[in-house]
Structure formats: C-alpha cells, structure tokens
C-alpha cells in the first residue's frame, strides 16, 4: 500500500470511528441497532435453532389454538403449529422483503435523483414529472395493483414495494446533488476535463451516499409495513410464513374473536418492534450523517 493510500485509509477509519462514537451517544439509536442485530440473528439462525418440519400442517405437533404452555411458549395456530416457530420463520420473509425492496427502491431513487440534478434541462423536467406522478398516487395502492396482476409470491412483493417507494429518495438525492454540484471543486473538475461519469462517480456519489444510507434504514421499516399489509390482504406467498400472513390467518380463522390472543399479538408486536427499531436507528444515523440536522441537535 502506497503512502497516499495508507493516509486515505487511516482517514476513512478515523471518520468511521467518529461516526460510531456519535451514533453510540444516541441511546435510542443504539437500542434500536441492538434489537435489529438480535432479530436478524434469530432470523438467520432459525433453520438451526428450530425444526422446519413443524411448519408443515401435516406435521403440526400441537392441537389447534392451544394457549401458551411449556411445550408451546406462544401457543399454537389454527393448524396446531407453534406460533413461536412461525414468528421466527416469518421474520425471515419479512426481513428479506424489507431489505430487498429497499435496495431496489434506493437504487432507483438514487439514479433518478442524481440524473435529474446533474443533467438538468429537459431530462430533469421529465424525470421529476415522472417522480411527481408516483408521489401523487398512493404507493400502497400501486403495490396492491401490481401484486394483483403479477403471480403471488415473495419476488412479486419485493418488486411491488420496491418500484412504488422510490420517489421520496429521488427527491432527497436530487436536492443533495444540487447542493454538491454548486460547490467550486465541481467546476474545477469540469474545467480539467472531467466528464459526467467522473464528476458523478468521484464527487457526487460519495457526497450523496451518507444521506442515502441514513434514509435507507427508514425505508426498510416502511417496506416491512408494506409487505405485512400485502400479506395481510392475501397477496403474499401462501407457502412462506410471514408476519402479515399470520395476522391474516388469525383474523380469517376466527382466532381474534375467539379470544386466541396468542395468535395475534406475537406477529403484531414483532412488526411494531422491528419498525420502531429501524426508525430509532435511522433517525440517529441521519442526525450523525446529515450536517444540517447535526447543527439543529447540537
């Protein structure tokens, strides 16, 4: 490693350490991050710490709607399956959709926002009118329409949520890109012969990414809510347990009216906890990475 590269690496490490110190000072953000790490670990390790055979209705080990007991800490569902088992495996689907849809949404929003701000003119006008069109229409309604037309399944939900939730990111990125491109060093880069790809890749994208990263954590929570809503409406994959599907089956089976609270509370509480954790972590990260918010909270 050359001397300039070593210096650059040390600066990046110092900057990352400073970001972590500021983030760790926010107790809410730190608590949210801790919960997220725990939930992700449980979801990833679900095939190891549980028996997947219990997900099969034929192999259900319990009786329908058994209350919580030593054998079934969270009771059983209408088919006699462990609610705890379903909740753990449901986290896998909900988190998968949340992360995948967020990546798709942020990718589209970042590309549209940077292109609109960098090229300007008729390209900016066209892209922003397209963005405004999606902003006016409710994203959930569009997602429901796409999920109805396309085959039911996890990939469909990922696409439906991802392609309908990018406009906010696009506007955020466009505003940040305009701010960056108004700075003198951008003009110097262009004067020295830097093309579009050079300016975007070397100057604009590094300046936009911190804000995009902070926004991403907030988008994940919204994507999980959207996935749960679509699954609750019966538009998800019936063979893949998710928290939204558990709520839908609890309602359709009469468990709610029958007093089987243990079938309803775990998935509902899981959605609330995971979305709240993403929100807390996202707000803390946004405060650290966004200079304007950092000044307001100082």
Cβ atoms of residues 170 and 131 within 8 Å? yes
Ranked by mean pLDDT, the top range of 9-18, 110-119, 139-148, 187-196 is 110-119
CA 91 to each of CA 104, 140, 206: distance values in angstroms, whole numbers, following the listed order: 20, 21, 33
Percentage of the chain with pLDDT > 70? 94
Percentage of the chain with pLDDT > 90? 37
**Lowest mean pLDDT across 57-61, 80-84, 139-143, 287-291:** 287-291
- Has residue 276 got a pLDDT over 90? yes
- Has residue 5 got a pLDDT over 70? no
Distance of CA 99 to the CA centre of its chain: 5
- Has residue 172 got a pLDDT over 70? yes
Task: Examine residue 45 and state whether it is found in any structural domain, yes or no.
Answer: yes
Q: pTM value?
A: 0.86
- pLDDT for 30 equals 92
- pLDDT for 104 equals 94
Distance of CA 296 to the CA centre of its chain: 26
- What does the CA dihedral 35, 38, 44, 50 come to, rounded to 10 degrees? -120
- Has residue 42 got a pLDDT over 50? yes
Give the range of the structural domain holding residue 59, as residue numbers without chain letter. Answer: 13-291
Task: Examine residue 261 and state whether it is found in any structural domain, yes or no.
Answer: yes
- Has residue 113 got a pLDDT over 90? yes
Q: Give bridge partners of residue 82 from the DSSP assignment.
A: 76
The angle subtended at Cα 204 by Cα 199 and Cα 209, nearest 5°, is 145
- 23 Cβ partners below 8 Å, 6+ apart? 29, 30, 33, 284, 285, 288
Task: Examine residue 296 and state whether it is found in any structural domain, yes or no.
Answer: no
- pLDDT for 48 equals 92
- pLDDT for 1 equals 55
User: What is the spatial distance between Cα 186 and Cα 183, in angstroms, rounded to a whole number?
Assistant: 6
Task: Examine residue 2 and state whether it is found in any structural domain, yes or no.
Answer: no
User: Could you tell me the CATH number of the domain that includes residue 223?
Assistant: 1.10.3720.10
Mean pLDDT of all residues in 25-49: 92
Domain count, the chain: 1
User: What is the spatial distance between Cα 87 and Cα 94, in angstroms, rounded to a whole number?
Assistant: 10
Task: Examine residue 4 and state whether it is found in any structural domain, yes or no.
Answer: no
Q: How confident is the model at residue 86 (pLDDT cuts 50, 70, 90)?
A: very high
Q: Which of 253, 236, 247 is nearest to 86 (CA)?
A: 247
User: What is the spatial distance between Cα 65 and Cα 262, in angstroms, rounded to a whole number?
Assistant: 9
Task: Examine residue 8 and state whether it is found in any structural domain, yes or no.
Answer: no
Q: How confident is the model at residue 8 (pLDDT cuts 50, 70, 90)?
A: low
Q: How confident is the model at residue 292 (pLDDT cuts 50, 70, 90)?
A: low
Q: What is the pLDDT of residues 198-228, one digit of tens each?
A: 888 888 888 888 888 888 988 999 999 999 9
Burial class (CB within 10 angstroms; exposed 0-12, middle 13-18, buried 19+) of 106: buried
Mean pLDDT of all residues in 55-80: 88
Distance of CA 152 to the CA centre of its chain: 21
Q: What is the pLDDT of residues 96-106, one digit of tens each?
A: 999 999 999 99
- pLDDT for 2 equals 63
- Has residue 291 got a pLDDT over 80? no
Q: Give bridge partners of residue 76 from the DSSP assignment.
A: 82
Cβ atoms of residues 105 and 223 within 8 Å? yes
Task: Examine residue 7 and state whether it is found in any structural domain, yes or no.
Answer: no
- pLDDT for 3 equals 61
């Amino acid at each position: 490693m050359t001397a300039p590269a070593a210096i650059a690496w040390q600066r990046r490490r110092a900057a990352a350490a400073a970001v972590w110190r500021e983030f760790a000072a926010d107790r809410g953000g730190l608590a949210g991050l801790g919960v997220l790490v725990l939930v992700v670990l449980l979801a990833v390790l679900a095939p190891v710490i549980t028996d997947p055979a219990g997900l099969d209705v034929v192999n259900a080990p319990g009786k329908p709607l058994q209350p919580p007991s030593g054998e079934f800490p969270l009771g059983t569902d209408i088919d006699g399956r462990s609610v705890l088992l379903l909740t753990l495996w449901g986290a896998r689907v909900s988190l998968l959709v949340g992360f995948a849809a967020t990546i798709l949404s942020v990718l589209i929003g970042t590309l549209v926002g940077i292109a609109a701000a960098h090229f300007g003119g008729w390209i900016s006008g066209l892209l922003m009118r397209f963005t405004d069109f999606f902003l006016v229409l409710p994203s959930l309604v569009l997602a429901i329409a796409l999920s109805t037309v396309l085959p039911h399944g996890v990939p469909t939900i990922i696409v439906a949520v991802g392609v309908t939730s990018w406009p906010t990111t696009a506007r955020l990125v466009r505003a940040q890109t305009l701010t960056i491109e108004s700075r003198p060093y951008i003009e110097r880069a262009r004067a020295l012969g830097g093309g579009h790809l050079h300016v975007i890749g070397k100057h604009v994208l590094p300046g936009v990414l911190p804000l995009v990263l902070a926004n991403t954590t907030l988008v994940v929570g919204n994507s999980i809510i959207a996935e749960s809503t679509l699954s609750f409406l019966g538009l998800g994959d019936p063979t893949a347990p998710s928290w939204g599907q558990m709520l839908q089956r609890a309602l359709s089976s009469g468990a709610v009216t029958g007093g089987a609270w243990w079938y309803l509370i775990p998935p509902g509480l899981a959605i609330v906890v995971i979305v709240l954790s993403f929100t807390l972590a996202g707000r803390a990260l946004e405060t650290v990475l966004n200079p304007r918010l950092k000044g307001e909270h100082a």
